[in-house]
Amino acid sequence: MNNALDGRVALVTGCTGGIGKVIAATLAQAGAVVVGADLPDAADGWAQETGSASYRPLDVTDEGAWADTIAAIDAEHGALDILVHVAGIVVVEKLEATTLDQWRRQMAVNVDGPFLGTKAAAQLMARTGADRPHGSSIIIISSVAGLIGSPLHTGYCASKGAVRLFGKACAMEFSALGYKIRVNTVHPSGVRTGMVDHIMSRFVEHGFAPSVEKATEQTVAAHPMGRMADPIDIAKAVRYLASDEAGYMHGSELVVDGGYTAQ
């Protein structure tokens, strides 16, 4: 897939995180001009390291910051082909102990973020997509938690299920409006990043496993392929959905989980 994205302009949120960084580097390697975005002051040397064009501070819950980001991309590049919503947080807590503030913050990052960003980018991506054989492409990183339930993840599952249907509804609406913007979601299971490390620690704190090692062992065993994903496994799926190879993928959910939800 080298050069598959030659000259395409991409925006990746959550770009300094475990999955976002590898997605940015993978899109850049395929020829895309990548703009990375993440929380302010999180990106020393990030653009150079990933081969990306630039980095912008962006809190995905801030509507005004989204407007500024899209306007800046339009001014500098005149196009936006690919938008990857990666930014996300996880609250690992019993339902009865989850505070309304935790619930709302998780919804703000995981659901408001893709809503605000898709809304802000729609016009520019429709304009860009009109000139491309298979349109422009929005990819939302959901989770297997958007497909099946999981203990200590009630709010997280709710947020990831919400963006799954949000993606499908955007796909339907954009087609109805004649916008050539494909919208798809990606559903990973366990991916070896800081987020999974945090989840494993919380499992131990809640007495679901005696140690982080044991919790990790149990999680790995739940994957029929015998391992958790590496970020590159997810990045390859994103690269595919971003490319013309995926020209007929629209409103779909791409499950990248080593068989986790097939059993």
Ligand X SMILES: NC(=O)c1ccc[n+]([C@@H]2O[C@H](COP(=O)([O-])OP(=O)(O)OC[C@H]3O[C@@H](n4cnc5c(N)ncnc54)[C@H](O)[C@@H]3O)[C@@H](O)[C@H]2O)c1
Chain residues that interact with ligand X, rule: CB under 6 A:
13-14, 16-20, 38-39, 42, 58-61, 86-90, 109, 141, 143, 188, 190-191, 193-196
Closest C-alpha to 15, from 82, 101, 104: 82
Confirm if 88 and 109 have CB atoms less than 8 A apart.
Answer: yes
Locus of tokens 């082909």: 81
Give the shortest CB-182-to-ligand X separation in angstroms: 20
Comparing CB distances to ligand X, the nearer of 58 and 237 is 58
Give the shortest CB-81-to-ligand X separation in angstroms: 21
Tell me how far apart the alpha carbons of residues 36 and 22 are, in angstroms, rounded to a whole number. Answer: 11
Comparing CB distances to ligand X, the nearer of 24 and 126 is 24
Phi–psi pair at 143, nearest 5 degrees: 180, 165
Phi–psi pair at 2, nearest 5 degrees: -60, 140
Closest C-alpha to 183, from 113, 246, 131, 127: 246
H runs (alpha helix) in 79-225: 100-107, 113-129, 154-176, 194-205, 212-221
Rg (CA), the chain: 18
Closest C-alpha to 163, from 102, 117, 125, 228: 117
Give the shortest CB-2-to-ligand X separation in angstroms: 24
Give the shortest CB-52-to-ligand X separation in angstroms: 14
Comparing CB distances to ligand X, the nearer of 32 and 92 is 92
Comparing CB distances to ligand X, the nearer of 22 and 124 is 22
Q: Structure tokens of 213?
A: 């090692």
Comparing CB distances to ligand X, the nearer of 38 and 81 is 38
Tell me how far apart the alpha carbons of residues 114 and 186 are, in angstroms, rounded to a whole number. Answer: 13
Confirm whether 156 is a catalytic residue. Answer: yes
What's the distance, CA 121 to chain centroid?
A: 15
- The residue from 156, 179, 240, 260 that is catalytic is 156
Q: Does the CA dihedral 168-174-176-178 come out positive or negative?
A: negative
Locus of tokens 């339009």: 74
Comparing CB distances to ligand X, the nearer of 174 and 260 is 260
Catalytic residues: 156
